[in-house]
Amino acid sequence: MKKTDIDRICDLHIECFKGDFLPSLGKGFLKAIYEEVEFIYINSNGFIVGTQDSGKLFKRVIKKHFFRLLPQLIKRVILDSSLLKKVFETLLYSGTTKASTKVELLSIAVDKRHRKKGVGRRLVKLFEKDFKKKGFTDYKVTVKDKNLVANNFYKNLGFLYSYSFKLYNEKWNLYTKEIK
Ligand SMILES: CC(C)(COP(=O)(O)OP(=O)(O)OC[C@H]1O[C@@H](n2cnc3c(N)ncnc32)[C@H](O)[C@@H]1OP(=O)(O)O)[C@@H](O)C(=O)NCCC(=O)NCCS
C-alpha cells in the first residue's frame, strides 16, 4: 500500500468517525495502525481494513512505533486525561473477546457523497475473497449500538449478532460472519 493511500484512508477515517477514540489520538496513531494491518483496501470512494488478530496488531504497533507515538500520546493526554483510560481499555479489549474467531473487520467507511450505492457491500466482498484465500472460515466486527446505519449494513450483509459489551462507556455489538 502506497503512503498516499494510507494518508487518504486516515483522512477519510477522521472525517467519518469524528469524535471517536482513534481519531482523537491524532493522525499519527491511525497511520501507525494502518501501516501494520494485514488487510487493507481503498478505492476512490471508500476503504476497508482488517486484521488476523487485533491483540497482535496493537503489540506490533507499539513495538515499531512506540518512540514516535509516545510524545503525541503525552500531548493528547495532557489535554484530555480520559484518553489514557481508553488506551488501556482498547488494549484490554483486544485480549478479552468472547468471539470464536480473531479475524476482524476493523473499520469500513464510504465517502458521504457515495453512500447507499453498493460501495460498502463491494468492499466487504473484496475483503472476504482475500480472507477465503487465507483459509479463514469466519470473522467478526464490532460496532457501536447507536450506529444504526452500520448495524443495519452488517445485518443486511449476513452478519449474525453475537453479543454486546461496554467500551469507552458505550454499548457495542459484536457480529460474526461465515465466509462462504
Ligand atoms: C456503513 C457504510 C460503510 C455503508 O456503506 P454504503 O456504501 O453506503 O453501503 P451499501 O450501499 O453497500 O449498502 C448495503 C446495505 O447496507 C444497508 N444500509 C446502507 N446505508 C443505509 C442507511 N443509510 N440506512 C439503512 N440501511 C443502510 C442497506 O441494507 C443496504 O442494502 P440495500 O442497498 O440492499 O438496501 C457507510 O454508511 C459509512 O461509511 N458509514 C460511516 C462509517 C461507519 O459507520 N462505518 C461502520 C462502522 S466500522
Query: One digit per residue, pLDDT tens: the chain, 180 residues?
Result: 788 999 999 999 999 999 898 898 889 999 999 999 999 999 989 999 999 999 899 899 999 999 999 999 899 989 888 888 888 888 777 666 778 899 999 999 999 999 999 999 999 999 999 999 999 999 999 999 999 999 999 999 999 999 999 988 899 999 999 998
Ligand 1 contact via 150 beta carbon (within 6 Å): yes
**Cα 154 to ligand 1 centroid, rounded to whole Å:** 8
pLDDT in the model for residue 84: 87
**Cα 179 to ligand 1 centroid, rounded to whole Å:** 19
* Domain boundaries 3-178, CATH class: alpha beta
pLDDT in the model for residue 86: 87
Asked if 137 contacts 128 with a C-beta cutoff of 8 angstroms, the reply is: no
Q: Which of 17, 153, 170, 174 to mutate to test the pocket of ligand 1 (most atoms within 8 A of CB)?
A: 153
pLDDT in the model for residue 46: 96
38 vs 45: CA distance, rounded Å: 21
Q: What is the pTM of this model?
A: 0.92
pLDDT in the model for residue 91: 78
Q: Whose CA is nearest to atom 15 of ligand 1?
A: 153
Q: What is the dihedral of CA 115, 28, 176, 143, to 10 degrees?
A: -60
Structure letter (DSSP) for residue 118 = S
Nearest-atom number in ligand 1 for the CA of 17 is: 42
**Cα 64 to ligand 1 centroid, rounded to whole Å:** 34
Ligand 1 contact via 71 beta carbon (within 6 Å): no
Strand partners, 139: 177
103 vs 50: CA distance, rounded Å: 8
16 vs 37: CA distance, rounded Å: 19
pLDDT in the model for residue 94: 65
Handedness of CA 166, 95, 125, 107 (dihedral sign): positive
